[in-house]
Amino acid sequence: MYLDTSSDRTDFTWMIKNAVVPRPIAWIGSTAADGTHNLAPYSYFQLVTMDPPMLMVSFTGRKDTLDNVRHTGDFVVNLVTEGFEAQQTDTAALFDADVDEAALLGLATTPSTVVTPPRLAGAKVALECRATEEKAMPGATLVFAEVVGVHTDDTVLDDRGRIDVERYRPVGRLGGALYTTVTSAYRIPVPTADAVLAGHRSGVLAGSVADRTTGTPAPEAQIATVSRNPRSKPVPSDDRHA
């Protein structure tokens, strides 16, 4: 099947929404001019640069969250994880601006460190963000923000202090009312060009019991990262674009 801009608009956009998945869900805490706190989910959201760490959220139409971010200049991204799927959905209901969704749903909050809105006490990870730029797009407003602080629940960390995704169990959106939970992970380190040319393809490395957090290949895989070609540099052990 091929669809394009001349196709039925709903079919076209649904195909794309269902294909580009899963999308992480930013459960955004913000604060209004009158001090009312707000909580709502946003899945047109992504990390867009690594250092400094910047993210982007896309707002369609008028949203309390966007109004609040414009007012205070900051917000909190609570990442949605297993156990919060239904509550995050409840906060997407169209409440009046004077409703504090976290309070309404009995979700405990705790003060953030440097930004105005509180974060969710139960969030496994919460990112404190300062908005840096707003861009009007056809049909949406994009907000770019720098992540200035990250709170991580110790229960999702491994013994090196890195996030273990199997403990973290993030929830992603699959389009519409469909969701997924990440419950397992596998590692495939990127080999050098020489290694690939020599037949040491990534498949050789797949499934190796490598260090999950640093990208350091397991001993049996390291042979594939040895290179004599100066243009074919070994992948840094902490794979900075991971």
Ligand X SMILES: Cc1cc2nc3c(=O)[nH]c(=O)nc-3n(C[C@H](O)[C@H](O)[C@H](O)COP(=O)(O)O)c2cc1C
Residue numbers of the site for ligand X (CB under 6 A)?
A: 25, 38, 40-45, 58-60, 63-65, 89, 92, 94, 173
Cβ closer to ligand X: 22 or 234?
Answer: 22
**Taking the complex as a whole, how short is the minimal distance between the CB of residue 117 and ligand X, in angstroms?**
12
Cβ closer to ligand X: 171 or 190?
Answer: 171
**Taking the complex as a whole, how short is the minimal distance between the CB of residue 203 and ligand X, in angstroms?**
35
Please confirm whether the linkage preceding 41 is cis (ω < 30° from 0).
no
φ/ψ of residue 179, rounded to 5: -130, 165
Cβ closer to ligand X: 119 or 173?
Answer: 173
Which residue in this structure is represented by tokens 């414009």?
A: 70
Residue of 107, 138, 135 lying closest to 123 (CA atoms):
107
Cβ closer to ligand X: 56 or 196?
Answer: 56
Amino acid at 93: A
**Taking the complex as a whole, how short is the minimal distance between the CB of residue 195 and ligand X, in angstroms?**
40
**Taking the complex as a whole, how short is the minimal distance between the CB of residue 8 and ligand X, in angstroms?**
22
Q: Is 136 helix (H, G, I), strand (E, B) or coil?
A: strand
Please say whether the dihedral angle defined by the alpha carbons of residues 23, 115, 82 and 105, taken in this order, is positive or negative: negative
Cβ closer to ligand X: 7 or 46?
Answer: 46
CB atoms within 10 A of CB 103: 13
- Are 86 and 114 in contact, with CB atoms under 8 Å apart? no
**Taking the complex as a whole, how short is the minimal distance between the CB of residue 48 and ligand X, in angstroms?**
14
